[in-house]
């Protein structure tokens, strides 16, 4: 993989099924495009995201994100707060081994925000593309 202009990052977006996942479906209904190399994995709540999932994903991809319900609007009340703390934890772990912390992020949106979903995904894609390939990739 090169760090040139043709670099296409791979991103995993873990999606709360009450917001991010439905927003992705909304984006599909609106036929809004986003890069192919963004994979979605459904979770029942952003609070189900595990530091381990982030780390395991980072062993093979260039960036990971969790798409959560709007702040103070988690269906399970505290899920998105816990998700935020796990993102911070993962960022700390990556930073201490010299991997850019920006490769992990949490973004908040609601189920009907198809446009916002695409915007979030595209922004992350562009940011990671700028960062270049994940230097810590174990599985290439």
Nearer to other proteins, 75 or 127 (CB): 75
DSSP states of the chain as a string?
--SSTT----EEEEEETTTHHHHHHHHHHTT----TTEEEEEESSGGG--HHHHHHHHTT-SEEEEEEPPTT--TTSSHHHHHHHHHHHHHHHHHHTT--GGGEEEEE--TT-HHHHHHHHHHHHHHHHHH-S-TT-S--
CB 116 → other proteins: shortest distance, Å? 14
Residues at the contact surface with other proteins, assessed by CB under 8 A: 10, 12, 18, 24-25, 27-29, 31-34, 36-37, 39-41, 43-45, 47-53, 55-61, 69-70, 72-79, 82, 86, 93-94, 96-99, 110, 118, 135-140
CB 100 → other proteins: shortest distance, Å? 11
CB 74 → other proteins: shortest distance, Å? 7
CB 101 → other proteins: shortest distance, Å? 13
Nearer to other proteins, 47 or 129 (CB): 47
């Amino acid at each position: 993989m090169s760090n040139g202009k043709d670099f296409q990052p791979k991103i995993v977006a873990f999606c709360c099924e009450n917001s991010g996942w439905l927003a992705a479906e909304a984006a599909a209904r609106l036929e809004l495009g986003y890069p192919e190399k963004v994979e979605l994995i459904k979770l029942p709540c952003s609070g189900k995201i595990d530091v381990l999932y982030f780390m395991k994903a980072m062993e093979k991809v260039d960036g990971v994100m969790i798409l959560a319900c709007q702040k103070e609007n988690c269906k399970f009340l505290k899920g998105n707060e816990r998700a935020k703390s796990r993102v911070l934890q993962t960022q700390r772990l990556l930073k201490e081994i010299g991997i850019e912390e920006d490769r992990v992020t949490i973004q908040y949106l609601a189920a009907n925000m198809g446009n916002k979903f695409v915007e979030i995904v595209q922004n992350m894609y562009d940011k990671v593309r700028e960062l270049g390939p994940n230097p810590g990739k174990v599985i290439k």
